[in-house]
Structure 1
Amino acid sequence: MWQYKQLEELSAKDLHLILKERTKVFVVEQAAAYQEVDDIDLHATHLLKRCKDTVNAYCRVYLKDGKVRIGRVLVPEHCRNIGHGRELMQVALNYITVRYPKREVQIQAEAYLKDFYESFGFELISELYYEDDIAHYDMLYKKHHQVDSTKIKQTNLSE
């Protein structure tokens, strides 16, 4: 089941699971030493799909410079290539469409995922650049999908 929670609404166990997976993916797996936990977590909406004590997919949604940002997009290795990433992006975009209907949506995409994000309607707005020795593009969401807002409201939205 998908959960949409502010930091204060996350249980200590959920927060631990999220930070453990984020560190595993973004620091250990990618061999990038950087401050993974940051102040964005304090005001972001955390989208989480879990099964028992396992995170299956996660991202955070937040406002910055008047735009909605999707960040820390992750699917743990044991859940990859079975559709969780696609489901995560669709859930995030549906949430944003309902919560922030008039805002632009931007993502900082790792270069190898460019085609994946383009399949959702994101377009490049930057040249290739490196952050923490990882190739990235900035991308802006251009394609607005039809969203069934009743479906979103039934999935434990918490504002």
Structure 2
Amino acid sequence: MLEIKVKSFEELTKKELYNLLQLRSEVFVVEQDCVYQDIDYKDQKALHVLGFKKEKIVAYTRIFKPGDYFELASIGRVVVQKKERAYKYGYAIMDASAEAIKVHFKTSTIKISAQVYLKKFYNNLGFKETGKEYLEDDIPHIAMVRN
């Protein structure tokens, strides 16, 4: 079972910040073999949705209010530790993120920039593709929106 916490940048403990950055690096840089600037000064504006299992962060997203990243509210840096993916924590962290957007930002319309290979996963969560595929950090992405 995943324990979910939503925190502002200022509310994160040093340990939580270190652990979430480690998880993002483990998946986005090492596993996906993609050299890119993960620490982008957007974390300070985001709310952080942390998925804990036995006090360890195994799933994570960051969410933005409308206008802070895209025109619409958005979810980004969606990540689940590789050995924990069999438990479908991606769905749990995305559902918690959508709920946090509803509670904190008073909207349910969400835009994401999705890696193309995860399109079906996001379709299952109610997201629909908008526009054409594009490269982001040399990885095929597509914009998707859920109302």
TM value normalised by structure 1:
0.84
Report the equivalent of 2:41: 39
Offset, 1:101: 2.7
Offset, 1:33: 0.9
Higher strand proportion, which one? 2
1:68 to 68, 73, 97: 73
Report the equivalent of 2:4: 2
Conservation of the 8 A alpha-carbon contact between 2:27 and 2:81: yes
Report the equivalent of 1:12: 14
Offset, 1:110: 0.5
Percent of pairs with identical residues: 36
SS at match of 1:115: helix
Query: Which structure has more RCO (C-alpha within 8 Å, separation ≥ 6)?
Result: 1
2:100 to 89, 95, 101: 95
**Where does structure 1 differ by over 6 angstroms across 4 or more consecutive aligned residues?**
none
Conservation of the 8 A alpha-carbon contact between 1:66 and 1:103: no
CA distance in 1, matches of 2:71, 2:114: 19
**Structure 2 residue runs without a partner (length 5+):** none
CA distance in 2, matches of 1:66, 1:58: 22
Supply the RMSD in Å over aligned alpha carbons. 1.4
AA of the residue aligned to 1:2: I
1:115 to 120, 137, 141: 120
1:29 to 28, 31, 36: 31
Conservation of the 8 A alpha-carbon contact between 1:40 and 1:62: no
**Structure 1 residue runs without a partner (length 5+):** 143-159
**Count of residues in Structure 1 that have an aligned counterpart in Structure 2:** 142
Report the structure number with the largest CA radius of gyration. Answer: 1
Conservation of the 8 A alpha-carbon contact between 1:67 and 1:103: no
CA distance in 2, matches of 1:112, 1:133: 13
Q: Write the deviation string for residues 100-157 of structure 1: whole angstroms up to 9, x where unpaired.
A: 2336310010001101111111111121111112111100113xxxxxxxxxxxxxxx
